[in-house]
Structure 1
Amino acid sequence: MRFNLAIAGAVLPSLALGFPQMMGGTKEEILDMLKERAELEKREPDLVSGLLNTVGGLVKTVVSDVDGILGSVAGGLLNPNDKRPEPGYTFQAPGAGDSRGPCPGLNLLANYGYLPRNGYVNFGQVLDATARGFNMGTDLATVLATFAVLANGDLVTESFYLGSGPGSVGGLNRHSTVEADISPNREDYYLGCGDNHHLSSRLFQQNVAFAKAGSGKFDMQTMAQQYSASADFSKANNPFLYAFPFPQIVSVAAFSFYPAFFSNGTFGAGGVPNYESISSIIGAKLDRSTGQFSYVPERWPENWYRRSYPYGAVQALTDGFTQIYPSNIVVPLFAQLGTANFNATNILCDILQGFRSITPLIVAGTEKDAGTAISWALGKLDPVLGIGSLGCPSSVLSPDQPDILFPSASQTGGPINSPSVQASKAGNNVYNKVYFTAAPSKPACS
């Protein structure tokens, strides 16, 4: 706890000092932690470097890493009603025409029939399925589903594809809208040459190594280390790494989703983010003869229990930006960064303000069309993020507002003007194959 607190206090001092109880200490303790930052900065690169060297070693090292973290079981109070899948929901591997993409949780829900098995889903289905399958809070599901429809789907039917849309247009595979670079176990869009949706074997090897070196589990500390190493790699090798705030928020939160949603039981109340749960839910199957991970259809392990109470937007952002993000800062475009106003509530309000800045990505036409899209999105979000809940001011939502969050959308590398890559890898997921056995320091287009 002391390690994480020190890093968070050093890179987000206003958040740490303004809300010490959220950071797990007093102001005096945080100030002490700040003094230790220089020493911590010397240690962390050595740890990361050593682990990455281990991942790149012999096959037996990977197998040993996996064997070393097997066997942890869920504790605490397990409610029989939380066991998944429920009766009547059976696993079925996706067929050739079924749409699957970068989100393992949604892919899994479609594999069991909580979402349509063809992967073409609508707004209401996503809210219901994520709650029933993983106990995702309505506010968090609403934010994610609203952006998915707005940026990747069809506004009239409030629907979108889990992977690639028809003709590789739209769907969650669309880069830098909901999907983002620096993913827990997917490669960056540019470095993957359009493949931002298959499980990366080398990234999960890295993730397993961090887990073994730590608690043996995929907890917040393990996922923070995974985030830090992946962010370093992206910064060094991806010239089109683009920090558009909303997908960056999803990127950071996705690392916290591993323990929060994929644990067997309730994380923090006896639930464990063990290898058996994580590897099965994200579709990673170890080949012991090669040490590589094959990407297989996502499924729940045996005797798996969802978390017992909802995990919502404020908690996800708090965990993401106090336990994951401080391990490696990728500066977003938030106006509040570095001030006492940089907190979970204001980030959510910034999301509201950012709608006008993303409508050029999905609305090609008149101002009336753009206004319709904004009105639809705000209608969905206002009940959970508006004045009656978080208190986001309506006065900043005028269509005349400047593009606060995304002033450089049309620059090279931005979603409007993405780098040119081969589109052959931009389709739906193809399972039972190994992807990315080595780190793609240059676009893997061959």
Structure 2
Amino acid sequence: MHLSAVYIAFLAASACAFPWLKPEGIEALLSHPEAQAEIKTRLAEHEAIQNSQPEPRKLNTGLVGGLVTLLDGTLSAVLDNVLGLIPTNDAVKGLKKFPEAKYPFRAPGSTDQRGPCPGLNTLANHGYIPRNGIATIGQINAATAAVFNMGADLSSLLSTGGALDGGDIISQKMSIGGPDSRVGVLNGGLNKLLGTPSGISGHGKFNEGDASATREDFYLNGDNISFKPELFKQLHQQAIAKGNGTYSVDAIKEHFKNRYAASKAANKQFYFNLPSSAVVMGAYYFIPGFFSNGTIGAGGVANEASITSFYGAKPTKKGAWNDPALTYTHVPERIPEQGWYRRATPMTVVEAVGGILDVYLYAKPAMGGSGADQSWVLGPLNIPNNPQALSCFLYNAIYANFPSELFNSVVLLQSVVNSLSGLLAPGYKALGCTINFPDASGTGATRYDAWSKRYVGDAKYKATGSGWYRKL
């Protein structure tokens, strides 16, 4: 096959399958100097391979990048780590394309909350949740389903845990960043008396913990919210070394292994215990699981263009994505401008927990935390080692955890239990878990009471690295 023929196939497929490029059009894309050079180079590489191979083949889609599923001269998709996925209709069947015109990107203002979760920051920057970063459980559930195809069971587990431990569970409202006077009983009207909820960035609570992929440990410099370019650089290096140029599951597992070791060594108040440690490891899996262009395992790729956009990681040098020394600055997180396709099937609790176990079993991190004398307080040695069992464990951990943590609304414990049961019971029962959390009357004990006191409840207050402070 001659280069010109491949070029014609490319243009023909483009004319039918790229209406979303307008008003720029495919001509504008091809006229872009970097894009033109990359595409021409890869078409030439394909021609050379076709001339030497009797059968059509797939090209490497990592460091080399290029054309994928080129069969009999029919182009299915062009994959580029800089430009992202440029798909045809066949390549995106069953997927939904973003960004959407009715949810434009807008950088956050000075009073808008943003936090350690790039996904929530992105949702706020596009208006899928309130742009001020103060959102309810329901708003977060709806937005994560719409943009990331997060299953209702998983979003309810995460958002309810966030509202319990960092927000106001009565109004089901929370800050996606730090403490905010707009959150609390009676819209914060009683915060002077009861205290201001910490937001999901409250250290050591359900949604935030040490050894983050791109955020620093709280006890190192007191900032567990800000994006750290050096940490993203390390993730980028693993994408090259372990992910063949993509932010694959293998790449993020190696990054977590390194981050855990470095964090534990540097942070004398290090805390890594369930349930927050599970959420931290889950956040690593979410990088390819939610931010890939398409569904991982079904043709989706966690390429440089997609991941950097969702993290707000701006390369300091264009066209150098395959340079291990590449550095980054930070800009507000956003859905990739060049076009991005969410995963085609919802991610459930079971898939998420399977990802957590994959990360955990690869790195084998010790559970525990630094004690008051900076000695290591060992956590549970044996955590459930299959997705169904660990899923049930995490549901129970929320119930076992919250009674001693509800500083702001402990007098409303019964209504809180009722609210939690309504939010979490459906997913809990669907997993086949034994029903052993407090019932709708607000009574009953969990089989994790002893575990809670030892590893989650009282143990938190004895570990200076936990970030938990008893309000007297």
Distance 2:136 2:396 in 1: 24
| Structure 2 residue corresponding to 1:171, chosen from 177, 192, 199 | 199
The residue aligned with 1:310 is: 346
Structure 2 residue 334 is matched with structure 1 residue 299: yes
| Structure 1 residue corresponding to 2:307, chosen from 278, 296, 299 | 278
| Structure 2 residue corresponding to 1:231, chosen from 253, 256, 260 | 260
Aligned-CA RMSD value: 2.7
Contact kept in structure 1, 2:202 and 2:208, CA below 8 Å: yes
The residue aligned with 1:321 is: 357
Instruction: Report which stretch shifted further, 227-236 or 398-407.
Output: 398-407
Contact kept in structure 2, 1:210 and 1:225, CA below 8 Å: yes
Alignment of 1:361-372 (within 5 A): 361-364=405-408, 366=410, 368-372=411-415
Structure 2 residue 407 is matched with structure 1 residue 395: no
Distance 1:347 1:74 in 2: 38
* Higher Rg: 2
Contact kept in structure 2, 1:74 and 1:265, CA below 8 Å: no
| Structure 1 residue corresponding to 2:143, chosen from 129, 132, 138 | 129
Contact kept in structure 1, 2:170 and 2:416, CA below 8 Å: no
The residue aligned with 1:220 is: 249
- Specify the SS of the correspondent of 2:218: coil
Structure 2 residue 110 is matched with structure 1 residue 96: yes
The residue aligned with 1:423 is: none
The residue aligned with 2:400 is: 356
Distance 1:267 1:288, change over 3 A: same
- Specify the SS of the correspondent of 2:272: coil
Distance 1:303 1:345, change over 3 A: same
Contact kept in structure 1, 2:112 and 2:132, CA below 8 Å: yes
Q: Which has the higher contact order (CA 8 A, sep 6+)?
A: 1
Distance 1:417 1:352 in 2: 23
Structure 2 residue 388 is matched with structure 1 residue 345: yes
Q: 1:371: how far off?
A: 3.7
Instruction: Report which stretch shifted further, 320-329 or 193-202.
Output: 320-329
| Structure 2 residue corresponding to 1:250, chosen from 279, 294, 312 | 279
Distance 1:377 1:325, change over 3 A: farther
Distance 1:351 1:370 in 2: 20
- Specify the SS of the correspondent of 1:413: helix
The residue aligned with 1:413 is: 465
Alignment of 1:34-53 (within 5 A): none
Q: 1:244: how far off?
A: 2.9
Distance 2:416 2:272 in 1: 23
Q: 1:294: how far off?
A: 1.6
Distance 1:400 1:385, change over 3 A: closer
Q: Give unmatched runs, 5+ long, in structure 1.
A: 1-63, 419-446
Distance 1:74 1:240, change over 3 A: farther
Distance 1:297 1:325, change over 3 A: farther
What one-letter code is carried by the residue in structure 2 that aligns with 1:139? D
Q: 1:350: how far off?
A: 1.8
Contact kept in structure 1, 2:235 and 2:255, CA below 8 Å: yes
Structure 2 residue 272 is matched with structure 1 residue 263: no
Structure 2 residue 120 is matched with structure 1 residue 106: yes
Instruction: Report which stretch shifted further, 96-105 or 354-363.
Output: 354-363
What one-letter code is carried by the residue in structure 1 that aligns with 2:96? D
Distance 1:157 1:253 in 2: 26
Q: Give unmatched runs, 5+ long, in structure 2.
A: 1-62, 64-79, 182-195, 319-324, 369-377, 439-443
Q: 1:403: how far off?
A: 4.2
Distance 1:272 1:375, change over 3 A: same
Contact kept in structure 2, 1:121 and 1:160, CA below 8 Å: yes
Q: 1:117: how far off?
A: 0.8
Q: 1:137: how far off?
A: 1.0
Q: 1:267: how far off?
A: 1.1
What one-letter code is carried by the residue in structure 2 that aligns with 1:213? A
- Specify the SS of the correspondent of 1:125: helix
Distance 1:78 1:232, change over 3 A: same
- Specify the SS of the correspondent of 1:362: coil
Alignment of 1:50-89 (within 5 A): 70=82, 73=85, 77-79=91-93, 82-89=96-103
Contact kept in structure 2, 1:134 and 1:306, CA below 8 Å: yes
Contact kept in structure 2, 1:115 and 1:121, CA below 8 Å: yes
| Structure 2 residue corresponding to 1:196, chosen from 204, 209, 224 | 224
- Specify the SS of the correspondent of 2:424: helix
Number of aligned residue pairs: give it: 347
Contact kept in structure 2, 1:108 and 1:281, CA below 8 Å: yes
The residue aligned with 2:33 is: none
Distance 2:421 2:348 in 1: 19
What one-letter code is carried by the residue in structure 2 that aligns with 1:399? A
Contact kept in structure 2, 1:82 and 1:306, CA below 8 Å: yes
Query: With structure 1 as the length reference, what TM-score do the two structures score?
Result: 0.72
The residue aligned with 1:47 is: none
Q: 1:413: how far off?
A: 2.3
Contact kept in structure 1, 2:396 and 2:446, CA below 8 Å: no
Deviations 1:167-203 (A, max 9, x none): 6741111111111111111111111x22111111111
- Specify the SS of the correspondent of 1:253: helix
**Residue identity (%):** 32
The residue aligned with 1:330 is: 366
Distance 2:446 2:365 in 1: 31
| Structure 2 residue corresponding to 1:157, chosen from 152, 166, 171 | 171
- Specify the SS of the correspondent of 1:121: strand
Instruction: Report which stretch shifted further, 232-241 or 325-334.
Output: 325-334
Query: With structure 2 as the length reference, what TM-score do the two structures score?
Result: 0.68
What one-letter code is carried by the residue in structure 2 that aligns with 1:382? A
The residue aligned with 1:187 is: 216
- Specify the SS of the correspondent of 2:135: strand
What one-letter code is carried by the residue in structure 2 that aligns with 1:416? W
Contact kept in structure 1, 2:168 and 2:197, CA below 8 Å: no
What one-letter code is carried by the residue in structure 2 that aligns with 1:320? I
What one-letter code is carried by the residue in structure 2 that aligns with 1:282? Y
Contact kept in structure 2, 1:256 and 1:324, CA below 8 Å: no
